[in-house]
Amino acid sequence: MTKVSAVAIVREAVLAMLAERGHRGAISDHDSLFFSGKLDSMAATEVLMLLEREIGIDLADADFDITQLDTLAQIEGLIGARV
């Protein structure tokens, strides 16, 4: 998995979930997705599953900091660091 394709897959999934939940208007790379309530826990699970599959993040790691996945920029940063 290349970085570019992993980023594209996750970004597309996040935008699709926002649309599905009726979010209108543009979303910037630095907008809060989860703390803002735009996305719910179901969506968070989906993002985690994608990251697990695409870049092998380890959810069993007790120090895994999920709060660093709140914006598209943060998610892409994580992917960049791993791939």
Partner 1 sequence: MPEQDFNLALPFARQTVFSPESVMLAVAGREYSYGQLGQQVAHLAGALAPRLQSRRVGILATRSLEAYVGILAACWAGAAYVPLNLKWPEERLVALLQALELDALVVDENGAALLTPAVLAAAPDLVVLPAGAAKEAARPGQMVSERTALDTPPLPGPVQVRADAVGYIIFTSGTTGMPKGVMISAGSLDHYIAQSRFWTRYTADDRIGEACDVTFDLTVHNLFLCAEAGASLHVMSQLELMAPARFIRSHELTVWMSVPTVIGLMRKSGALKPDLFPSLRMSIFCGEPLPAEAAQAWAAATPNGSVENIYGPTECTVVCMRQTLTEPPVVTPSRGIVAIGEPYPTMEVGILDERQQPVAPGMPGEIALCGPQVAIGYFGQPELTADRFRMLDGRRWYLTGDLGSCDADGVFHHLGRVDNQVKVKGNRIELEEVDMHLRRAAGSELVATVAWPVSYGSAEGLVSFVAGSEHEPEAIREAMLESLPRYMVPGAIHRLETLPQNVNGKVDRRALVALLESGRAAEAAA
Q: CA triplet 6, 79, 38: central angle to 5 degrees?
A: 85
Q: Which is nearer to partner 1, 2 or 24 (CB)?
A: 24
Place of tokens 């943060």: 74
User: Counting contacts by CB under 8 A, is residue 63 touching partner 1?
Assistant: yes
Is residue 36 part of the contact set for partner 1 (CB under 8 A)? yes
Q: Does 65 bind partner 1 (CB under 8 A)?
A: yes
The dihedral formed by the CA atoms of 22, 27, 29 and 31, expressed in degrees to the nearest 10 = -80
- Is 24 a binder of partner 1 (CB under 8 A)? no
- Which 3 state secondary structure label does DSSP give 33? coil
Q: Which of 4, 15, 19, 66 binds partner 1 (CB under 8 A)?
A: 66
CA torsion through residues 74, 5, 49, 82, sign: negative
Among 2, 24, 28, 62, binds partner 1 (CB under 8 A): 62
- Binding residues for partner 1, per CB under 8 A? 34-37, 40-42, 44-46, 48-49, 59-67, 69-70
